[in-house]
Amino acid sequence: MATLEGIAIEQRLVDHHCHGVLMRDLDRAEFESLLNEADRPSPLGTSLFDSMLGLAVRRWCPPLLDLEPHTDADVYLTRRQDLGVEEITRRFLGATNTECFLVDAGLAPESISSPVDLAELAGGEAHEIVRLERLAEDLLNDGVEPRAVPDRLTATLENTTAVGAKSIAAYRTGLDLPAAKPARDDVDAALFDSQPGASGHRLVSPVLSGWLAWTAIEAGLPLQFHVGYGDSDADLRYGDPLRLTPFLRATEERGVPVLLLHNYPFHRHAGYLAQVFEHVFMDVGLATHNTGALSAAVIRESLELVPFGKMLYSSDAFGLPELYYLAAVLFRRGLAAALQSLVSADDATDDDADRISALVLNGNARRVYRLGPEDAA
Binders of its own copies in range 311-370 (CB under 8 A): 342, 345-349, 352, 355-356, 359, 364, 367-368
- Asked if residues 174 and 235 have their Cβ atoms less than 8 Å apart, the reply is yes
Does residue 61 interact with its own copies by CB under 8 A? no
Which residues inside 146-175 make contact with its own copies, applying CB under 8 A? none
Kindly tell me which of 183 and 297 has the beta carbon lying closer to its own copies: 297
DSSP secondary structure of 88-123: HHHHHHHHTTEEEEEEETTS--TTBPPHHHHHHHHT
Among 52, 144, 250, 358, binds its own copies (CB under 8 A): 52
Q: Site map for its own copies, 244-273, x if CB under 8 A?
A: -xx-xx--x--x-x------xx--xx--x-
- Asked if residues 330 and 56 have their Cβ atoms less than 8 Å apart, the reply is yes
Does residue 55 interact with its own copies by CB under 8 A? yes
Which residues inside 268-297 make contact with its own copies, applying CB under 8 A? 268-269, 272, 274-279, 281, 290-295, 297
Rounded distance between C-alpha atoms, residue 176 and residue 239, angstroms: 9
- Asked if residues 56 and 28 have their Cβ atoms less than 8 Å apart, the reply is no
Task: Tell me how many residues contact its own copies (CB under 8 A).
Answer: 79
Kindly tell me which of 181 and 355 has the beta carbon lying closer to its own copies: 355
Residue 3: phi and psi, rounded to 5, are -70, 170
Among 309, 354, 358, 366, binds its own copies (CB under 8 A): 309
Rounded distance between C-alpha atoms, residue 191 and residue 203, angstroms: 8
Kindly tell me which of 13 and 356 has the beta carbon lying closer to its own copies: 356
Which residues inside 220-249 make contact with its own copies, applying CB under 8 A? 229, 231-232, 235-237, 240, 242-243, 245-246, 248-249
- Asked if residues 316 and 263 have their Cβ atoms less than 8 Å apart, the reply is no
- Asked if residues 146 and 137 have their Cβ atoms less than 8 Å apart, the reply is no
Kindly tell me which of 191 and 259 has the beta carbon lying closer to its own copies: 259
